[in-house]
Amino acid sequence: MARFDEVKNLVLSLEADFDKFYSKGNQAAGTRVRKGMQELKNLAQTIRSEVQNSKNDKE
């Protein structure tokens, strides 16, 4: 569950930058959003691998 908390915290930390980019057109906020989304993608891939390995170990 610690990984799930990491995902939630990452998404919540990006909320202000999403608002600045989409509402105010702040380009620097868009860069931070892109960086954060890349981190989210990498974290999701790590979680997928951990789940798959755990599943395979039980079989």
Residue 42 Cα to chain centre, angstroms = 8
What pLDDT, on the 0 to 100 scale, is given for residue 13? 96
What pLDDT, on the 0 to 100 scale, is given for residue 43? 97
Please state the pTM of the whole predicted model: 0.85
Backbone angles phi, psi at 2, to 5 degrees: -65, -40
What pLDDT, on the 0 to 100 scale, is given for residue 58? 83
What pLDDT, on the 0 to 100 scale, is given for residue 16? 97
User: Which residue ranges in the chain fall short of pLDDT 70?
Assistant: none
What pLDDT, on the 0 to 100 scale, is given for residue 59? 72
Helix axes 27-58, 2-24, angle to 10 degrees: 160
What pLDDT, on the 0 to 100 scale, is given for residue 44? 97
What pLDDT, on the 0 to 100 scale, is given for residue 42? 97
Helix (H) or strand (E) segment spanning residue 27: helix 27-58
